Structure 1
Amino acid sequence: MPSPHHRATQSVLQIRERLTRLSHDIHGLAETSFEEHRSAARLRDELADAGFAITAPVADLPTAFTARYGTGDFVVGICAEYDALPEIGHACGHNIIATAAVGAAIGLAAVADDLGLTVEVVGTPAEEHGGGKVLMLERGCFDHHTVALMVHPGTVDADPVETASQGVARFAVTFTGRAAHAAAAPTDGVNAADAAVVAQVAVGLLRQQVPASSRIGLFVRDGGQATNIIPERTVVDVEVRDFDLEALHSLRRRVEDCFSAGALATGCQMQVEETEPLYAPLRQDPRLAGPYRDAVRALGRRLADTGGLTGGSTDMGNVSQHVPAIHPMIDVDGSGAPPHTRGFADDAVSPGGDAAAVDGAIAMAQTIIEAASDADLRAELIAEQTTRAPFTEGVPA
């Protein structure tokens, strides 16, 4: 009888054309965060046709779903992302991510009974903005998983243990002052735009004093309405990033102090509001990274010597802090454009993009087969799952 590795691979290759159509369909829909109704339905239909039991919606999120196959004690969560970016569509290749998840799940379904697997595709909305996985994690959607994984398209094949992503906190600062006529009575005003200027200067000076791994980004969303009116309200959107969670929280406090300086200098009131859930740094599990690395090489792909490919943020980081997980990068062959550009959006439905979806599916399936077949590793991972406390709180402060 053919090995589980062979049967899973063949199951994926037999549906290569279906997977390509699925990827192109999702790419054409290009729905943004929390609006992915047709994309989620397309994925659910594909998995239902393959014999998966669908639950939708889940976690009180209309475009989130799960698709389950098997009853084994080794429960694998395969994350599917399918939200697009405004204006530039699937410039992060989430059509490839979703398609690879479906392909991997169908490949594993072919061997689930033999290996004692439960295979669950977790349809996770709003990765780009909104933190769908964070919300689903907080609502218990990952508590029953032994492991979790996904692949992300990029411009290289990278070893998971050599890649990382930063945690990111996003918030808005609102300064409230007092409006006045800028020519007739400027001294009666309290200028909220000035508070934002002071804060931005302070942040600019702070950048010299922060670690090289840290990032600060901001822009003025609302800075006034007319030149002859002292602005009474200014809103600044801010994000801070770091690879270390404690350093991220420290940086957040220092940046907020810069805004407090703006309020103090101008006499404005200041309010800070979270705009998105905090994304935690990504933790790649080496026990899954090794089998994935072997699977990618067996497909004829060459892992790039990245020296530590880093940057960007993902809500998969939160999942990886709770469940053993990997989030490797798979190469879109022939793409010369970086993610989050129109060029990469085009490449996401190129032959290289189609191959990345299929190879990503096979590599993930092979990774799980290896982990589930290794008696010691399987026992270790299941033991961790059974003793792991349910996720009941957000990322620690």
Structure 2
Amino acid sequence: MAGVSHSSFADGVEHTVARVRGDLIELSHSIHAEPELAFHEHRSRAKTQALVAERGFEVVPVAGLDTAFRASFGSGDLVVGVCAEYDALPELGHACGHNIIAASAVGAALALAEVADALNLTVVLLGTPAEEAGGGKVLMMEAGAFDDVAAAVMMHPGPVDIAAARSLALSEVNVSYTGKEAHAAVAPFLGVNAADAVTVAQVAVGLLRQHLFPGQMMHGIVTDGGQAPNVVPRHASMRYTMRANDTAALHALEEKMAGCFAAGALATGCQHRVESVSPIYQELTPDPWLSQTFRSEMLRLGRAPVPAELEAALPLGSTDMGNVTQLLPGIHPVVGVEANGASVHQPGFAEAAAGPAGDAAVIDGAIMLARTVVALAETPAERDRVAGLAERRAS
């Protein structure tokens, strides 16, 4: 049974986080003040890796991505990854609190470095860009950045505390229609209206909603609807996101949505193309033992996590950390941030992410992550379990 660790190593990592508290808060606020979008997080990456580089972590680039990195410390046979996200949202900045994620990950990595030799650990801080759009972790996985990692941990801020957070599988596509321009008043009969194709497709999507399975959903925007009202649009486009409880249900939804997109082209005589925007995000499947250990740490710090029986009913959007948890044991708990009723992806949450509640999430998150990893390292059966899974993957 997982539980709170009372070892000197657990206390030691907590003391380390307390000692570097000022540096972590400064890091969080600095990333927050200069939000950067997916694959352009150059300043955020540099800030995130700076503190661990000073501590002696070996920092190397990953997957040919300018804003990804892998920073390693120690030479133990148990390799644990701590994931740091730092991309922001268009217009909303850090309304998802990735500044908190980055700072808490750095805090956990620094703390674990202090006990790495004693616990026979290798600590790996993974700078993972483009979570909001682009699937940075998936690209890093494909490049081998997680190959030797036995377990991966990270936290995410949110409106409530959730120890075993789950997420939906996701795919995102651009849909473009090509018709024929014409003067909208003089000779509209010579045109093929691409904007009409978008309208037909969206009507079809709206009618499909009645027949979705629980957990399936879709949402989209029109990214191009024409340039002038007196010209029949030759080109129009949409971007749609599709989600479902698991990857199989997602693929079933994709097939139905493909028919809706094709309907727009068929009804108007347009040509159409559907292109994936990023890798599929698989559903988040937290490791039960690590999640229970993190829950115990939440309770120890006086937090009030959502009851375990309600966790599955609270999916948290989608994340490429889901792909990581499909490959190896991992967790992605939510650490609560009081934001006056605002939730993630709202301006009020962006403000709170650099306020007192956000700062508390940085420190508590770092402590809980570090102590959870210490508990893993000190529990022989669980240590052997995750190490054995890593060995089987390698073979």
Is TM > 0.5 for Structure 1 vs Structure 2? yes
Deviation string 1:227-274 (CA, Å, 9 cap, x unpaired) is: 222111111111110111101011011001011111111111111111
Q: Equivalent of 2:97, from 90, 93, 96?
A: 93
1:108 matched residue in structure 2: 112
Partner SS for 1:164: coil
2:375 matched residue in structure 1: 370
Deviation string 1:347-392 (CA, Å, 9 cap, x unpaired) is: 11111111111110110111111111111111111111011158xx
Give the drift of 1:325: 0.6
Whole-angstrom CA distance in 2 between matches of 1:311 and 1:17: 30
1:353 matched residue in structure 2: 358
2:142 matched residue in structure 1: 138
Partner SS for 2:275: strand
Q: Equivalent of 2:34, from 9, 29, 47?
A: 29
- Residues 155 and 335, structure 1, Cα contact 8 Å, conserved in 2: no
Partner SS for 1:114: coil
Q: Equivalent of 1:193, from 167, 171, 195?
A: 195
Is the counterpart of residue 52 in structure 1 residue 65 in structure 2?
no
Give the drift of 1:311: 3.3
Is the counterpart of residue 4 in structure 1 residue 9 in structure 2?
yes
Whole-angstrom CA distance in 2 between matches of 1:45 and 1:227: 52
Whole-angstrom CA distance in 2 between matches of 1:275 and 1:348: 28
Whole-angstrom CA distance in 2 between matches of 1:302 and 1:193: 49
Whole-angstrom CA distance in 2 between matches of 1:179 and 1:333: 52
1:64 matched residue in structure 2: 68
Amino acid at match of 1:210: L
Whole-angstrom CA distance in 2 between matches of 1:240 and 1:121: 31
Whole-angstrom CA distance in 2 between matches of 1:101 and 1:47: 10
Q: How does 1:134-173 map to 2 (within 5 A)?
A: 134-160=138-164, 163-173=165-175
- Provide the aligned C-alpha RMSD in A: 1.5
Question: Mind listing any 5+ residue stretches in structure 1 that lack a counterpart?
Answer: 391-397
Partner SS for 2:117: helix
2:4 matched residue in structure 1: none
2:244 matched residue in structure 1: 242
Amino acid at match of 1:286: P
Whole-angstrom CA distance in 1 between matches of 2:192 and 2:340: 51
Change over 3 Å in CA distance of 1:335–1:81 after alignment to 2: farther
Amino acid at match of 1:63: T
Q: Equivalent of 1:280, from 279, 282, 293?
A: 282
- Residues 148 and 394, structure 2, Cα contact 8 Å, conserved in 1: no
2:224 matched residue in structure 1: 222
Give the drift of 1:334: 5.6
Q: Equivalent of 1:177, from 176, 179, 184?
A: 179
Whole-angstrom CA distance in 2 between matches of 1:389 and 1:114: 25
Between 1:224-233 and 1:303-312, the stretch displaced more is: 303-312
1:257 matched residue in structure 2: 259
Whole-angstrom CA distance in 1 between matches of 2:385 and 2:335: 28
Moved over 3 A (4+): none
Whole-angstrom CA distance in 1 between matches of 2:341 and 2:233: 44
2:3 matched residue in structure 1: none
1:395 matched residue in structure 2: none
Question: Mind listing any 5+ residue stretches in structure 2 that lack a counterpart?
Answer: 1-6
Whole-angstrom CA distance in 2 between matches of 1:242 and 1:261: 22
Whole-angstrom CA distance in 2 between matches of 1:159 and 1:363: 11
Is the counterpart of residue 80 in structure 1 residue 90 in structure 2?
no
Please report the TM-score for the alignment, with normalisation by the length of structure 1.
0.94
Whole-angstrom CA distance in 1 between matches of 2:199 and 2:45: 43
Whole-angstrom CA distance in 1 between matches of 2:377 and 2:298: 18
Amino acid at match of 1:327: H
Between 1:323-332 and 1:184-193, the stretch displaced more is: 184-193
Give the drift of 1:176: 1.1
- Residues 62 and 143, structure 2, Cα contact 8 Å, conserved in 1: no
Whole-angstrom CA distance in 2 between matches of 1:351 and 1:179: 55
1:394 matched residue in structure 2: none
2:318 matched residue in structure 1: 313
Amino acid at match of 1:153: P
Give the drift of 1:327: 0.2
Partner SS for 1:287: helix
Partner SS for 2:118: helix
